[in-house]
Chains A and B, each alone.
Chain A
Amino acid sequence: GDSVTQMEGPVTLSEEAFLTINCTYTATGYPSLFWYVQYPGEGLQLLLKATKADDKGSNKGFEATYRKETTSFHLEKGSVQVSDSAVYFCALSDRNQGAQKLVFGQGTRLTINP
């Protein structure tokens, strides 16, 4: 079945550092790819998405490019802030289904120190 693998955390960085969180996937079809973010005590929020190969999703300074050849969707940000501290989830959904069932990676906890 479909699966998503994320780099293990936790990840701790200093403010203004460069961030990369790796995500690779296995899927039989042509999935859509997502990054969700979860702040403490809250539900997940969509951060960005890409629906086809070579698409780049971006939001709030975060970017990720859908790489079909390497089955990857790595999350990057050039200069992180303390407010970026959260848990980040990579996910995929099978675009051929009416209901967008999501398959999640295990999550990566990010802590940014001032």
Chain B
Amino acid sequence: NAGVTQTPKFQVLKTGQSMTLQCAQDMNHNSMYWYRQDPGMGLRLIYYSASEGTTDKGEVPNGYNVSRLNKREFSLRLESAAPSQTSVYFCASSRTGGSGQPQHFGDGTRLSIL
């Protein structure tokens, strides 16, 4: 019963370093998402992938890139990390179509940029 698995769980970077956050789901979901969670601001969508082979920007895409490697995996890359990207990052997945499809979340990656 793995669900959505994120790696790593914690990471500390220096400003300017690059890093890729990994996400994999085993529920055969078509859609996958990356969010960031900051205090007092809820979760904000960074990028999403409605289906394998497609990606789209969310609310806060600047400074990030994504890759939908296959149906299971959706990675988030920080090319040149900045202190403003210190946050908790969550990956989620869902079925596509219909109304009210719930999203299933991983346990998050806590990222600190010094």
Contacts and interface: CB of A to CB of B under 8 A. Distances in A.
Contacts of B94: 99-100
Contacts, number: 74
Interface residues of B, number: 30
Contacts of B49: 99
B42 A99 contact: no
Contact of B102 (A34, A41, A89, A107): A34
B41 to A, nearest CB: 6
A71 to B, nearest CB: 17
A107 B88 CA distance: 14
24 contacts: A4-B42, A36-B105, A42-B107, A42-B108, A43-B105, A43-B107, A44-B90, A44-B105, A46-B103, A50-B100, A51-B100, A93-B100, A98-B50, A98-B51, A98-B97, A99-B49, A100-B100, A100-B103, A102-B45, A102-B103, A104-B42, A104-B44, A106-B42, A107-B42
Given A32-B100, A42-B107, 20 more contacts: A32-B99, A34-B100, A34-B102, A43-B92, A43-B105, A43-B106, A43-B107, A46-B102, A49-B102, A50-B100, A52-B99, A89-B42, A95-B100, A98-B97, A99-B31, A100-B96, A100-B101, A100-B103, A103-B45, A105-B42
